[in-house]
Structure 1
Amino acid sequence: MNPRFAITMLAGLLALGACGPETENAPAPFAMTEDAMGRYCGMNVIEHPGPKGQIILARYDEPIWFSSVRDTIAFTLLPEEPKDIRAIYVSDMARAASWEDPGGDNWVDARRAFFVVGSDRIGGMGTVEAVPFSDERKAADFARDHGGEVVRFDEVPRDYILEPQAAGDEVSTIAGGDGN
């Protein structure tokens, strides 16, 4: 066997092995119930329309719940939040009954999801939303119907998630505000 080929194969197998355990060891998502309270709003998550999120940390047996995917992603970006994240799950809108009822057990791993950013849909907390899908084609269809672009988890713009929403911006108008 050619030594160069053997080294290349070994390097490839090691790289694949390095990716496997994280996915294999990730805990399963929790079903959303009426007891799920949003991390930042302190409100019942199930009462808000649009996609939701949950993050499972190594130090806890229960997930941290979020009333929006925007808040879920923000948690991963904020330096003061814990970084011992074992799993990030978001509502799979490809399998959701509707925007008002995104479902309580149709989760997708956020790092594998396709997100539509810049759409005309408003998240559960009245701000812009990163709308998640397990299916890229369904994400593209949603973007065609509601505007926006399809990106992966690591491509969601940081300022789209962390920038405060000013009164009078496009979101305030879409949400029914008069812009003042």
Structure 2
Amino acid sequence: MKLFYLVSAALALAACGAKPESSPPAPQPITERSVGHYCTMNLSEHVGPKAQIFLNGKPDKPVWFSTIKQMFGYTKLPEEPKGIAAIYVTDMGKVSDWRTPNADNDWVDARKAYYVIESGFIGGMGAEDALPFADKAQAQKFAAEKGGRVVAFGEIPDEYIFK
């Protein structure tokens, strides 16, 4: 019987120290303080889709990106932090004015988005960029009409990101 009480006490103590799983931080709106991680320019100065990454322990301070390719580079470069709590990208399928995306805070979880790459779309830094869509059918329709191909988050080729 003593063993039962010891085990029960150990389990109760372990449960007290367990941290409840928290939900990821919500995407933040772009403001005048939203500055691109690599370009150090205000995101509102750039056309095209944007991205934000939340690092573990910093739920209210996203790392901002002027382009989708920059966000992918950040996730792949060994010198950048890897404790990522959440990544959000512009859902271009919900954007009404492509000159001012995110005016309505149209964000989608980057890992669940579909990306049109190799379409020739010139993004915020004057180079070709990927276009994220929450809906795969919208991404496929865009690629069929404008060119490019549709890939998932884990399928973006390194050659495309670092070209």
TM over 0.5: yes
> Deviation digits for residues 105-145 of structure 1, max 9, x if unmatched?
11000000000000021110111111000011110111112
Query: What runs of 5+ residues in structure 1 fail to find an aligned partner?
Result: 1-20, 164-180
Structure 1 match to 2:97:
98
Which of the residues 47, 54, 57 maps onto 1:56?
A: 54
Determine if the alignment matches structure 1 residue 125 to structure 2 residue 125: yes
Q: Which residue of 1 aligns with 2:155?
A: 155
Question: Taking CA–CA contacts closer than 8 Å with sequence separation of 6 or more, which of the two structures ends up with the larger relative contact order?
Answer: 2
Which residue in the other structure is 1:66 paired with? 65
**Structure 2: gaps of 5 or more residues:** 1-20
If the length of structure 2 is used for normalisation, what is the TM-score? Answer: 0.83
Amino acid at match of 2:67: S
Amino acid at match of 1:91: T
Partner of 1:46: 44
1:66-123 deviations in Å (ceiling 9; x for gaps): 0011111110010000001000100000101222111241100000000000002111
Query: In structure 1, what is the Cα distance between the partners aligned to 2:110 and 2:42?
Result: 21
Per the alignment, residue 29 of structure 2 pairs with: 31
Cα deviation digits, residues 2-56 of structure 1 (max 9, x gap)? xxxxxxxxxxxxxxxxxxx6xx621111111121000000001111000000000
| Partner residue, 1:16 | none
Q: Report the count of equivalent residues.
A: 141
Residue 58 of structure 1 deviates from its aligned partner by 1.0
Q: Counterpart of 1:25 in 2: which secondary structure? A: coil
Bigger shift: residues 77-86 or 142-151: 142-151
The root-mean-square deviation of aligned C-alpha atoms, in Å, is: 1.2
Query: 1-side partners of 2:151 and 2:114: how far apart?
Result: 6
- For 1:159 and 1:110, locate their aligned partners in 2 and report how far apart those are by CA, in whole Å: 19
Say if 2:49 and 2:132, in contact at 8 Å, map to a contact too: yes
Would you identify which runs of 4 or more consecutive aligned residues in structure 1 move more than 4 Å? none
Q: Identity rate of aligned residues, in percent?
A: 48
Equivalent position amino acid for 1:81 in 2: E
Contact 1:123 1:129 in 2 (8 A): yes
